[in-house]
Each structure stands twice: as structure tokens, then as C-alpha cells.
Amino acid sequence: MKKIFLIPILIITFLSVSSCEDDSKNPLPEQVVGQYMKLDVDRYHRQMLYTDINNTYFGGILSNPGGTVVKFDLMVRRSVNDNETSDYVPLMTINSFPYDLKITPAMVAQALGLQVTDLKDGDFFRFYGYSYDANGNVATYSNLSSLNRSTQAMEQGYRFNTNLTSTPVGTGDNDEPYNNRFLN
């Protein structure tokens, strides 16, 4: 009788031990589903140079890892001395991914109804994106999980920022990666 009770326990123990695998030897493939936009910012184009305002840009590769986005609308707003001086206004619409995103001061000024000469050293630009799938469903930063919003490595492409500066920082090969999150 004792053997009858021992056999199920031995089977359960064997199955428990044999089902444990070392994930580092057999990692699961990365799976991306749904509407998600990723922005891999070029470390040399994190900021726009005020001293070269006609040739500078903020940029990187904007991609749709899940393959479900058919349209991406990007909005911009300007801050001067930590004061919002504009509402979000349309900057561009993108319909093909991956996309080599290059945002120039002239593009920002035009969207805001300004001349490039109206832009100042220290201006701060916030960007907000909306992605659309083939059925017209919209996704924004608000739709992202808290992990996607808070993890720098996720490189979300819905909410990011840059500035116009004569003293750029963080453009060397050994610098920290661009952080595309901002608090407001």
C-alpha cells in the first residue's frame, strides 16, 4: 500500500525537476505584438545644435516592431525657460516603417508658426505620437504598460524630447544612452 502512495509522489517530483530548464541556454524569442512604436535615437543627434541651427537635427530610427501600425502622427510643443509657450501642434505624419526620423529646427519652427530665427538657445521641444492600425485603432503613450513607460531600454516612440543648445552633452561613444522619457 505504501508503494502506491510513493509512486505518484515520485512521478510528480520527476516531472517537476525535468520541467526546469536553464533559460539562458534556450532563451525565448522576443515577441512584440500590438501597436508599439520604438524610437532608437542616434547618440550623435540627441540634441539640436544652436550654433549650427541650419544643419542640425534630432533623429533616430522609428520602427513598428509588431508590424501593425499603418500611420504615425507626431506632435510638437515648445518650452522656453521651463514655461510651455505653445500647445501641441502637428509636426508630421509617417506611413512607412522603419523610418529615419530627422527633425530639424526649421521643421519645428514651421509647425509652430515661427521663423527659425525666433528659436532660442535653450528651447526645449516635447514630442507626442499617435499610432493607428489598419482598423483605425489609436494608441498613444497612455496605452503603454507601466513597464514600457518606465523602462529606458524599451525606447518607446510615443513621448520624447530634445533641446536646442549651444552646449551639447552626452554625444560621445561611451555616454549613457538617450533617455526618451520625461516627467511632464
CB within 8 Å of 183: residues ≥ 6 apart: none
This prediction has a pTM of: 0.73
Band of residue 153 on the pLDDT scale cut at 50, 70, 90: low
Residue 134 has pLDDT above 60, yes or no: yes
Residue 152 has pLDDT above 60, yes or no: no
CB within 8 Å of 127: residues ≥ 6 apart: 74, 75, 76, 91, 103, 159, 160, 161, 162
| DSSP element (H, E) containing 94 | strand 89-94
Q: Which domains does the chain have, with CATH numbers?
A: 38-165 (2.60.40.10)
Q: What is the pLDDT of residues 22-47, one digit of tens each?
A: 444 444 334 445 688 989 888 788 88
